[in-house]
């Protein structure tokens, strides 16, 4: 009798495990911009464009086993970026115009990816698609966080006024890079007011390799981040 009960329990466990293997799996794909086989550019809302309202929008998407985007929503979660020296800093997402969020969300839903397989089985993928809205330029592409892509990335100096009040933290600077890889505009979009000027000056001096699509040079918009540590009072 005990043997029958044990065999029944074994079969039950195996059935549950087999059923669990049929459940859809979701893996983390990180930043997905460079992995799309089709990534439509969002339509820039006319009112936001006329008012020169821009910003970076991070959209969290879920991709099904066939590579189709099944859900897209604004990501308000803090995220990490890797600095040129290899250090990691946490960034709080900026507030953006709701119309830009909707435009980015609609574009993300039209994106297409190659199916992802894990051990031969198709799986779902969750990740982030980054869109940058820069007023006045329709010919740019979104590059996301650009720190790791710079060929020259000067460090930002710690302003004396900021050091006096021990201001610290991360400053995010939105930049536009021209067809030659030069930064032609830079605007601080987050961070301590006393640190923004220095970060902006450093961003303007950054240099990138030219970006080409189908052989033609294009502009790239994205974000550079700079971290400022509070001064160490133990040092002279």
| CATH number attached to the domain at 23-79+91-136 | 3.30.2420.10
- What's the distance, Cα to Cα, between the start and end of the chain in Å? 82
Q: What is the pLDDT of residue 48?
A: 83
Which tens digit of pLDDT belongs to each residue from 139-189? 567 777 899 889 999 999 999 999 889 899 899 898 999 999 999 999 888
Whether domain 139-236 has CATH 3.30.2420.10: yes
Q: Is the pLDDT of residue 233 over 80?
A: no
Across the chain, mean pLDDT equals: 82
Q: b/e map of 70-106 (b: 16 or more CB within 10 Å)?
A: eebebbeeebebebeeeeebebebeebbebbbebbbe
Smallest CA-to-CA distance from 65 within 128, 114, 106 is with: 114
Residue 128 three-state SS: strand
Domain residue extents for the chain: 23-79+91-136, 139-236
Which tens digit of pLDDT belongs to each residue from 100-133? 999 999 999 999 999 998 888 899 999 999 887 8
- Which distant-in-sequence residues (6+ apart) come within 8 Å of 90 by Cβ? 78, 79, 80, 170
Residue 3 three-state SS: helix
Q: What is the pLDDT of residue 82?
A: 59
23-79+91-136 and 139-236: same fold? yes
């Amino acid at each position: 009798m005990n043997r029958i009960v044990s065999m029944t329990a074994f079969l039950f466990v195996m059935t549950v495990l087999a059923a669990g293997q049929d459940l859809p799996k979701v893996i983390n794909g990180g930043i997905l911009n460079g992995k799309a086989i089709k990534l439509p550019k969002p339509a820039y809302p006319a009112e936001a464009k006329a008012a020169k309202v821009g910003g970076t929008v991070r959209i969290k998407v879920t991709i099904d086993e066939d590579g189709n985007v099944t859900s897209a929503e604004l990501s308000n979660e803090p995220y990490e970026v890797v600095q040129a020296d290899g250090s990691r800093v946490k960034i709080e997402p900026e507030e953006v115009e709701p119309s830009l969020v909707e435009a980015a969300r609609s574009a993300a839903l039209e994106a297409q990816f190659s199916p992802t397989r894990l051990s031969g089985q198709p799986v779902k993928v969750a990740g982030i698609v980054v869109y940058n809205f820069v007023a006045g330029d329709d010919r740019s592409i979104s590059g996301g966080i650009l720190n790791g892509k710079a060929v020259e990335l000067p460090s930002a100096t710690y302003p004396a006024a900021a050091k006096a009040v021990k201001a610290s933290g991360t400053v995010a600077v939105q930049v536009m890079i021209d067809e030659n890889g030069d930064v032609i505009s830079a605007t601080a979009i987050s961070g301590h007011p006393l640190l923004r000027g220095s970060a902006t000056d450093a961003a303007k001096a950054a240099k990138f390799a030219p970006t080409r699509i189908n052989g033609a040079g294009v502009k790239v918009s994205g974000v550079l981040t700079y971290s400022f540590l509070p001064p160490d009072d133990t040092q002279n």
